[in-house]
């Protein structure tokens, strides 16, 4: 990039200044800590503040620790150049999140599997909810399959045979979950395998979205600039 620019289309620009609490590269997501501005530290988190460029210097020139720096507050719909971390392949419109070190990365939808290596259900959280799913071994003989939803927790009491062995399969569990009112406010599901599952616990949570890529960019061992449109 041959010109100095971080803000591309910022409709509600709020000019801020502060002291760098470490080495800060223009385009980094940043947060305030102990009165200084540091690289945003929450991987998978959202952020509204970006380090602006140093006037009359290259966009690649970083602020040194204790140096006075320019800060850009971005609002939904604003476009700005973030810094994409290494080993990423980003497509147009893809959601990005904080990498926890100033850079951005592809945002995960938070999907996870529960039940075993071959017989399991994939749970994808709805929105940014954190949901706990438990497959519970009743440690009893001839137990029935049942499901309860308590807030953001889905508890599945697994069925057993006359010897106490678990018999619940992914298909049966998925049907039992989907029969419960409100399950689809928490997760979507997809079953895999026809055998009995294993007891266990899973917590799923999607990454918070900083914004959406306005261009396709691939990184290998070096970070690159990425044009991002701030999300809601």
pLDDT (tens digit per residue) in 5-35: 676 766 656 578 999 999 999 999 999 999 9
- For residue 2, what pLDDT is reported? 41
- Per DSSP, 87 falls in state S
Distances (CA, A) of 113 to 6, 107, 116, 201: 39, 18, 8, 10
Fold entry, domain 7-105+209-230:
Virus Head Decoration Protein; Chain: A, (2.40.300)
- For residue 38, what pLDDT is reported? 98
Residue 96 burial (C-beta neighbours within 10 Å; 0-12, 13-18, 19+): buried
The Cα–Cα gap between 80 and 225 comes to 10
Q: Tokens standing for 108?
A: 């995960």
Residue 160: Cβ within 10 Å count: 21
Residue found under tokens 């709805």 = 126
3-state DSSP assignment of residue 6: coil
- For residue 13, what pLDDT is reported? 61
Mean of per-residue pLDDT scores for the chain: 94
Q: What is the pTM of this model?
A: 0.82
- For residue 9, what pLDDT is reported? 67
Digit-coded pLDDT (tens) for 74-115? 999 999 999 999 999 999 999 999 999 999 999 999 999 999
Q: Tokens standing for 60?
A: 């690649």
CA geometry: angle 61, 63, 68, nearest 5 deg: 135
Q: 188 phi and psi, to 5 degrees?
A: -110, 155
Q: Tokens standing for 80?
A: 């700005």
- For residue 14, what pLDDT is reported? 59
The Cα–Cα gap between 18 and 70 comes to 7
Task: Calculate mean pLDDT across residues 138-144.
Answer: 98
Digit-coded pLDDT (tens) for 179-227? 999 999 999 999 999 999 999 999 999 999 999 999 999 999 999 999 9
Task: Calculate mean pLDDT across residues 134-145.
Answer: 98
Q: Tokens standing for 227?
A: 């044009």
3-state DSSP assignment of residue 116: coil
């Amino acid at each position: 990039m041959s010109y100095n620019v971080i803000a591309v289309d910022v409709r509600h620009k709020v000019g801020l200044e502060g002291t760098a609490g470490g080495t800060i590269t223009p385009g980094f997501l940043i947060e305030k800590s102990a009165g200084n501005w540091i690289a945003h530290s929450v991987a998978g988190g959202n952020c509204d503040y970006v380090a602006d460029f140093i006037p009359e210097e290259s966009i690649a020139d970083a602020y040194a620790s204790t140096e006075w720096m320019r800060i850009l507050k971005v609002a939904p719909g604003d476009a700005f150049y973030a810094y994409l971390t290494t080993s990423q392949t980003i497509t147009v419109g893809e959601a990005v999140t904080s990498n926890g070190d100033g850079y951005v990365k592809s945002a995960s939808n938070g999907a996870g599997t529960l039940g075993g290596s071959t017989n399991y259900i994939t749970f994808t959280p709805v929105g940014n909810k954190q949901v706990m799913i438990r497959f519970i071994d009743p440690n009893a003989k001839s137990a029935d399959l049942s499901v309860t939803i308590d807030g953001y927790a889905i508890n599945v009491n697994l069925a057993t045979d006359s010897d106490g062995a678990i018999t619940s399969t992914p298909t049966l569990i998925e049907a039992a979950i989907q029969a419960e009112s409100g399950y689809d406010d928490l997760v979507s599901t997809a079953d895999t395998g026809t055998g009995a599952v294993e007891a266990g616990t899973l917590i799923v949570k999607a990454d918070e979205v900083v914004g959406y890529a306005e261009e396709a960019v691939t990184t290998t061992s070096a970070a690159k600039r990425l044009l991002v449109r701030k999300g809601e």
